Amino acid sequence: MTEINVRPIAGALGAEIEGIDLSDDLSNEAFDTVHQAFLDHHVIFFRDQHDLSPEKHKAFGRRFGTLNVHPYVKGMDGHPEILEIIKEPDETTNFGGGWHTDMSFLEEPALGSILHAIEVPPFGGDTLWANQHAAYDALSDGLKETLASLTAIHSAKGEYGPKGQSALGRKSMDTQAAPDAPEFEHPVVRTHPETGRKGLYVNPAFTMRFKGWTRRESRPLLNYLFEHCRQEPFTCRFRWEAGSVAFWDNRSTWHFALNDYQGHRRHMRRVTVNGDRPF
């Protein structure tokens, strides 16, 4: 068995894992190592996964749970669980180009997302992640007490509404507008179901307001939290190569796909693992 090495890439979160071929069936021992690294570091990275077929990509995701079929973005032909995230050289808007947590607009949001780089630009296109446990830990005791009693309303209607960035027409991705998307309630302070750690669970893309508050009343506190949650000490940054894979915990992180490679193509494939209702 090849030695597995877990190497942190930043102080706040993120680790590269060496000695794993995701196209192979992982032994229980190897899976346990990967799973623990995922919980410890919140986002884990694998290089040189060139043999990761769509079927193997899905099989790895299924080791962690059932797979999501996105309600507003058409999946890959023959593989509805896989999103083909493509930006062509002449397109100006990317997918995921703002701080967010995947699928928080569902009643049972995603556990995690597994992104495989097929084609990357010669420069740019990095992704940033932010640790929401660290963001919570840095708050004052008084604000923690206030937030503990609050519930937030999440919905896709902003991002996937008629003017939303995620619903913009793209020749390489089939997205649909969802102006009447449902709203769901999630606690502002979420307890991680596997580690028991508390973390903030709001994000700029899908959190609309606090339950019982108007949007105008909610905006000052939400804006404060959004600014707080993306502070540099809570983040890591990953430089993609063709064949790289990132697997992040949507229960404890935000992420942001940078759009700084105009004139170049970027092609990624994403599998999303279903999660459970936040508490």
List the catalytic residues: 100, 102, 255, 270
* Tokens read off for 126: 């990095």
> For residues 163 and 173, what is the distance between their CA atoms, to the nearest angstrom?
17
**60 close to 66: Cβ distance less than 8 angstroms:** no
The H-assigned helical ranges of 42-84 are 54-62
**58 close to 243: Cβ distance less than 8 angstroms:** no
> For residues 276 and 279, what is the distance between their CA atoms, to the nearest angstrom?
9
Residue that is written with structure tokens 């913009």 in the block: 168
Question: How big is the CA angle at 112 (ends 18 and 47), to the nearest 5 degrees?
Answer: 20
DSSP, res 251: T
